[in-house]
Amino acid sequence: MRWEGKCPSCGAWNTLVEAPAPVGSGGRRARESGSRSGASVAEVSRLGGAAGDVPRPERRPIEFGEVDRVLGGGLVPGSVLLLGGAPGVGKSTLLLQLAGRAQIGGARVLYVSGEESREQVGLRAARLGSGTSELRFVATDRLEEVLAAVEAEAPDLVCIDSIQTMWSGDLTSAPGTVTQVRACSAALQARAKATGAATVLVGHVTKGGALAGPRTLEHLVDVVLHFEGHRLGEHRLLRGSKNRFGSVDELAVFRMTGSGLEPVPDPGGLFIEDRPEGVSGSAVAVPLHGTRPLPAEVQALTATSRYATPQRIATGFPPRRLTILLAVLERRAGLDLGGSDVFLSVIGGLRLTDPAADLAVAAALASASRDRPIAGGTAFAAEIGLGGELRAISHAETRVTAAVRAGFDCVFLPAALRPSLGKVAAARYVATLSEALDLLETE
Ligand code: TYD
Ligand code: MG
């Protein structure tokens, strides 16, 4: 082996990465099936899939806060979950608490720490209390030792903290490199599939928000969860960005306390908590996260543009959707922001993908542009059509209930819902965007 800095094929510098050598002439496929001749033979069988033919994937609930809801019911045996988050957000704490819960639920858990010693993890476990003392624990960063421990312990759940520290002796790359992380993940995944042990990998996230090391890791694993801080400090959000077994819309909220993470089952007012009073450009949407409505503040700011092409910057809201709403505002409600820079931000790190957030976004934009604050007790839940009409949304009743519980007394809803929803005290039925903006203007 020798060092090579320049690619002999394209001439680029520092682009070469190490990869394990293929075994046998059949390359990767042959290696995976264990065939030495290269003529690999995979077992082919009937797929099944007719109704009632194939059982739904079995799940093991963890029963820790709402993690199961985010997972779509629990951990699927043999699956690999990647838990990503910035350093210090509480990944190790969450992992240890999950492991403890799973243990109490009767699972056999192997906890592997490549970052901390038995004493360090023991101290944390003591802070967290029940469930963690019976965990099977090994402090190692060596893949081969982890695989041997999995072999010996036959766990139902394997926890790895973190995947970036794991390294295989078969490779010469340093731990944390793309090659090592990818190879270790693949080996752990193969073992998970073979033994049926669910595996949770902790992954560090870089400043830019990407899972450090390879993005390819996200393609490899079955489920990707992100653990994020909330700007108010102690709250943490857990949400999925990929789930082969369920939806990725659900959201769980925790609070970091002196004795670990505490689930917040009803975060109702969390994302509207420190809403400024009497300031223009702020509106409250009631989007669904999975099945649960959660009032969220949207802020807009408009300013005369100094550029030929005005800026459109949206955080937590799809930029294309913003462009469409600006066009509808102009054509259907006479609000021309064509010469203005427009900034839109969803508070608290939430992402609004629910179309029912449209009206709140439009109302925030109109409020910013007219410099007229929206009354404090008002929330919005309606999708906006290209004709400027307000379109019906799902789960209107639970949204109104959630808004009222969070202290709102007036929820703008599409008029189309009046027949089905009827007389709800807080409901304010409106047919079009321009009608909604007129009402806000005259209030
Ligand atoms: P940690 O889980 O180590 O974060 P990560 O693994 O994501 O780097 O925890 C990070 C912070 O949480 C740390 O600053 C201490 C704090 N913490 C508490 O506030 N309460 C607790 O019970 C524990 C265990 C940690
Ligand atoms: Mg950690």
User: What does the pLDDT average to over 259-263?
Assistant: 93
Closest ligand 1 atom to 204 CA: 7
Q: Which of 84-93, 124-133, 194-203 has the lowest mean pLDDT?
A: 124-133
CA of 210 to the centre of ligand 2 (A): 17
**What confidence tier does 340 reach under pLDDT thresholds 50, 70, 90?**
very high
What three-state secondary structure class fits 134? coil
What is the reported pLDDT for 305? 93
Highest mean pLDDT among 130-134, 244-248, 346-350: 244-248
User: What does the pLDDT average to over 114-133?
Assistant: 88
Mean pLDDT for the chain?
A: 87
Domains in the chain (CATH in brackets) are 67-263 (3.40.50.300), 282-442 (3.30.230.10)
Q: Which of 22-31, 74-83, 222-231, 422-431 has the lowest mean pLDDT?
A: 22-31
How many CA atoms are closer than 13 Å to the CA of 94, on its beta-carbon side? 32
The C-alpha atoms of residue 385 and residue 137 are separated, in whole angstroms, by 56
Q: Which residues, other chains included, contact 227 with Cβ-Cβ below 8 Å and sequence gap of 6+? A: 83, 84, 85, 89, 90, 91, 94, 236, 237, 238
- Is the distance from CB of 109 to CB of 102 less than 8 angstroms? yes
Q: Which residues, other chains included, contact 341 with Cβ-Cβ below 8 Å and sequence gap of 6+? A: 302, 303, 304, 305, 306, 307, 310, 311, 312, 313
Protein residue closest via CA to atom 8 of ligand 1? 88
Q: Which residues line ligand 1 (CB under 6 A)?
A: 85, 87-93, 124, 127, 256, 258-260
Tokens 């009803």 belong to 266
CA of 124, nearest ligand number: 1
- Is the distance from CB of 161 to CB of 116 less than 8 angstroms? yes
Query: With 60 as the cut, is the pLDDT of residue 213 above it?
Result: no
List, for residues 29-80, the tens digit of each pLDDT value: 444 444 455 567 888 877 776 666 655 668 889 888 889 989 988 999 999 9
Query: With 80 as the cut, is the pLDDT of residue 233 above it?
Result: no
